[in-house]
Amino acid sequence: MNGTATKLASAVFLLAAISTAMAQSLPTQPKADVIFLHGNIYTGIADTSSFHTNPRAEAMAVRDSRVAAVGRDDEILKLKGPATTVIDLAGHFAMPGFNDAHMHLANAGFRRLTVELGGVKSLTEFRERIRERVQTAGPDEWIVGGGWDQTLWPVKELPSRWDIDEVTTDHPVFLQRVDGHIAVANTKALQLASITVASRDPQGGKIDRDSTGQATGILRETARDAVAAVIPRPTRDRRRQAIETALQELALSGVTSAQDNSDGGDAQLSWDDFQILEEIERGGKLTSALEV
């Protein structure tokens, strides 16, 4: 090999070495865990001076459960790695999660575990909702819930204990009306609350009766308290189930943080909720950031 060839070979080798060294020294951008493409993504940034600060974006990259980048599909795809999951939003809308500044987490969860009667259009549907809950209830378990409004029904008459007894006589049932001033109880619930033909109306309340003096199951205002007082306090496991159910609802609704005002000033329940939330967090199942 002549001198010129040797110098050329050395130069090529040197350039290759320099290129390799530069490539090794350049920082490599971490790849995304998940990439969302073809979306209508709202960033919340109003400045439209450039695409990167446009309030709308096509794609988004997520790394370590955090938004790493937003932009055009081709830009975000540069962050795709061998283990990246790619999700096609197919034009659907996406937006940042939001905060609920005042909520009662456990109460919200319990509502999902009870009979939801809001919007039922007939006594038949009213009974069917109760029947569905009875099928999943344990022996002698209380069936509670509410939201019914008889003015939406074809026959606008208040339900009675006998209407509920047609569905169950084994489970005590207590269901609040939509206005929160009236409730209906079945026969077993009335028995457990010691409401009989001889019971007097409490101050500030009224027990509806039929023509023979028998309680119909409709309890107004403070008359509801007798039944409410004999409903067992939820166990800790049941309370955790309610909280986990509420957390699932928050996640599905895009609520990523919330302030939980706990349970109406009950210090013990507030402390129980705090401990349950700590357990859920340690288990890696706290889907929203919470302040209690």
- pLDDT per position as a tens digit, 128-138: 999 999 999 99
Beta bridge partners of 176: 146, 183
pLDDT digits (tens, 9 = 90+) for 223-245: 999 999 999 988 899 999 999 99
243 closest CA partner among 275, 266, 208: 275
pLDDT of residue 253: 85
Average pLDDT over residues 170-191: 97
8 Å CB contact between 231 and 249: no
Residue 177 has a pLDDT of 97
Length of the chain: 292
Q: What pLDDT is attached to residue 51?
A: 47
Mean pLDDT of the chain: 85
Residue ranges and CATH numbers for the domains of the chain are 25-96 (2.30.40.10), 101-106+233-291 (no CATH), 114-228 (3.10.310.70)
Whole-angstrom Cα distance, residue 254 to residue 57? 18
Asked if 273 and 105 count as a contact pair (C-beta separation under 8 A), the reply is: yes
What integer is the mean pLDDT of 103-117? 89
Question: Which residue did the predictor score with more confidence, 264 or 129?
Answer: 129
Concatenated DSSP letters of 23-41:
HHHSPPPPPPSEEEES-EE
State the pLDDT at residue 252: 85
% the chain with pLDDT above 70:
83
Given strand 289-291, what is the order of strands in its sheet? 98-103, 255-260, 289-291
C-beta of residue 286 within 8 angstroms of C-beta of residue 277: yes
CB–CB of 272/234 below 8 Å? no
Average pLDDT (14-39) is 62
The residue-averaged pLDDT of 73-83 equals 94
Picking from 99, 103, 132, 98, the residue whose alpha carbon sits closest to that of residue 115 is: 132
Taking 80 as the threshold, does the pLDDT of residue 33 lie above it? yes
Given a cut of 90, is residue 256 above it in pLDDT?
Answer: no
State the average pLDDT over residues 172-185: 97
Residue 263: which pLDDT band, with cuts at 50, 70 and 90? Answer: low
